[in-house]
Amino acid sequence: MKSMRNYSLLALAAGLLGMASANAAVTYAAGDLIMSFRATTTGSQGFGTTYVVNVGQASAFRDASVSGDLNLGNISADLSSLFGAGWAARTDILWGVAGTPSNSITVAGDDAGTLYASRPQNTPGVPGTGWVVAGSSARLTVSTNMSTAQDMFKTMDPTANSARAAFMGEGLANDWREFLATGGNPAYTSGSQDFGAFSNIEGTLDQRLSLFRVNSGSAGSYEGSFTISPTGVVNFVPEPSTAILGALGTSLLAFRRRRRGA
């Protein structure tokens, strides 16, 4: 009887653990940036739902010196389930990246009110002009908008294919879509600007996205760029001078090792 009782308790504990895992919120930590995907053609497959993915710490992109693919889970399966098997060939799907580490404290070297936002490259390899958000109060307002969107995201259930991703339907309070100007919530898109500050953070899937960091009244600094492959692999290439410095550092380290071994 005792062994049966122990077995039952173990089974109950396992069941509760399974329920907890199933109900766990999407992976998110302060400082993470969000990538979003949405269809713009009314009535098309996936229209009305935004696919949002946590791509990781802003500081990791700021400090990156080596390009690489991001480990985001099977987002291709999610994109296929939402937008159809031919999602990669669709020209009406827009994607973008945005986030703020915090609107109140310093996080990983980014002061309160630091903003990160993408900009589509019209010419591949040409970053474009950095975003300008003049005035610390204006940046804090935009940071608060971003924080509101991020706070909503981190309450969402993850998808079946990625612990870092969620589907956010229109009508949901503070849905990511509300912060994007075209059709967004005027409370968050002042002046018909994404998050109230950016004319357009989104591009089509065949466009490379520049990532800019804004922490002063000057033009934001270019941190690198994102691409997505037809199989759903997201790649980040750091800003060239940072990558060159990283390569020089690696070469110098190898040279020193060879000298020591000589």
Contact 225, 210 (CB under 8 A): yes
CA 58, chain centre distance (Å): 9
Residue 230 CB-half CA count within 13 A: 5
pLDDT of residue 23: 59
Write out pLDDT tens, residues 140-189. Answer: 999 999 999 999 999 999 999 999 999 999 888 899 999 999 889 999 99
Say which residue the tokens 């993850």 belong to. Answer: 158
Cα 64–108–70 angle (5° rounding)? Answer: 40
CA distances from 55 to 85, 189, 214, 216 (A): 23, 23, 18, 24
For the chain, the average pLDDT equals 87
Write out pLDDT tens, residues 189-219. Answer: 999 999 999 999 999 999 999 999 999 999 9
Q: Tell me the one-letter amino acid at 69.
A: D
CA distances from 152 to 52, 149, 168 (A): 11, 5, 9
Other C-beta atoms lying within 10 Å of the C-beta of residue 88: 18
| Helix (H) or strand (E) run with residue 29 in it | none
Q: What is the mean pLDDT of residues 64-89?
A: 98
CA distances from 62 to 8, 100, 101, 139, 152 (A): 51, 13, 12, 18, 24
Helices (H) and strands (E) in the chain, counts: 5, 10
Q: How far apart (Å, rounded) are the C-alpha atoms in residues 236 and 72? A: 12
Write out pLDDT tens, residues 79-115. Answer: 999 999 999 999 999 999 999 999 999 999 999 999 9
pTM to 2 decimal places = 0.85
3 state DSSP class of 8 = helix
Cα 224–183–26 angle (5° rounding)? Answer: 55
Strands 165-169 and 202-204: unpaired
